[in-house]
Amino acid sequence: MKGTIFVELVSMAEDAFGEDVVDLVLDKVDLKNDGAFTTVGNYPCSELIKIVMAFSEHSGISAEVLQRKFGHWMMDHFTENYAEFFTGKHDSFSLLEAVDGEIHVDVKKLYPDAELPVFETDRLADKHLKLTYSSPRPLVEFCHGMVEACLERYKETAAIERCPVSGRTNATLFDIRLNQ
Ligand code: HEM
């Protein structure tokens, strides 16, 4: 995974627990590079999972909740640093529909070594979107946080139901119904 993701995870932890605690927690995790991540580096996703687990053990907050919070954090980061990807996207559904065919395509051009998930979308009605997320990485809660953050960004609220997709172990369906 891109170093940016690790740098931001460490930033979120520093924001939540303070720098000293982060140093102590990371010291105890068996990381290949001793926890010194740079934005230009590339690190295995398994290291990200180890870090999340360590902060979960330290704080008592479940790894699922931490991943979801991190999804919100990354959405804020992308909003601040990649404004061009949001141009012309006036609601959450148009943003979510653009991730696979536009946004992540451009991300891949910028960072050819990025490991990206696959999204399929199906607009069942104006306020009803089926979003199927597929990834071999265990980041479904992170994805859920990103989806929630997309809605918040446009001041929308929705009921999000998550279900497995039969016959596809790496896929999860997000069934999203806007409230208003
Ligand atoms: C709007 C600007 C966006 C940018 C610049 C962006 C960029 C990126 C980057 C750089 C990665 C990491 C790839 C790697 O580490 O190798 C990533 C991963 C990911 N992105 Fe995006 N993304 C954006 C929007 C979204 C949105 C709206 C979603 C909504 C669901 C999303 C879902 C994900 C997920 C779930 C991953 C983790 C990889 C995986 O699940 O396999 N992204 N994205």
Q: What is the pLDDT of residues 52-94, one digit of tens each?
A: 999 999 999 999 999 999 999 999 999 999 999 999 999 999 9
Say how many Å lie between the CA of residue 98 and the centre of ligand 1. 12
Instruction: Kindly report the average pLDDT of the chain as a whole number.
Output: 96
Q: Which of 138, 160, 149, 171 is nearest to 64 (CA)?
A: 138
Q: Which residues line ligand 1 (CB under 6 A)?
A: 1-2, 5, 78, 82, 85, 95, 99, 103-104, 107, 114-117, 135, 137, 139, 142-143, 146-147, 150
Kindly state the average pLDDT of the residues 15-44. Answer: 92
- Which residue has its alpha carbon closest to ligand 1 atom 3? 78
> What percent of the chain is predicted at pLDDT more than 70?
99
Average pLDDT over residues 163-175: 97
pLDDT band, very low/low/confident/very high, at 32 (cuts 50, 70, 90): confident
Whether residue 36 is predicted with pLDDT greater than 90 in this model: the reply is no
36-46 burial, b at 16+ Cβ within 10 Å, e below that, comes to ebeeeeebeee
Residue 33 pLDDT > 90, yes or no?
no
Determine the pLDDT at residue 2: 96
Give me the amino acid identity at 132: T
Q: How close is the Cα of 100 to the center of ligand 1, in Å?
A: 9
In the DSSP assignment, the letter for residue 127 is T
> Sheet of 118-125: strands edge to edge?
118-125, 128-134, 168-178, 158-165
8 A C-beta contact, residue 147 and residue 174: yes
Name the residue at shortest CA distance from atom 33 of ligand 1: 143
Whether the CB-CB separation of 55 and 17 falls below 8 Å is answered with: yes
**Atom number in ligand 1 closest to CA 2:** 15
Lowest mean pLDDT among 31-35, 74-78, 104-108: 31-35
Q: How far is the CA of 108 from the centre of ligand 1 (A)?
A: 10
Counting from 1 in the atom list of ligand 1, the atom nearest the Cα of 136 is 41
Q: How far is the CA of 171 from the centre of ligand 1 (A)?
A: 16
pLDDT tens-digit series, residues 133-144: 999 999 999 999
Q: CA distances (Å), 10 to each of 6, 36, 76, 110, 166, in order?
A: 6, 10, 15, 23, 35
Query: CA-CA distance, 129 to 178, in Å (whole number)?
Result: 9
- Work out the percent of the chain whose per-residue pLDDT is above 90: 96
Cα–ligand 1 centroid distance for 118 (angstroms): 10
Say what the pLDDT of residue 41 is: 93
DSSP 8-state code for residue 148: H
Alpha-helical (H) ranges within the chain are 3-17, 19-28, 45-59, 63-81, 92-98, 104-110, 140-153
Separation of CA 117 and ligand 1 centre (Å): 7
User: What pLDDT shows up at residue 78?
Assistant: 97
pLDDT digits (tens, 9 = 90+) for 14-27: 999 999 999 999 99
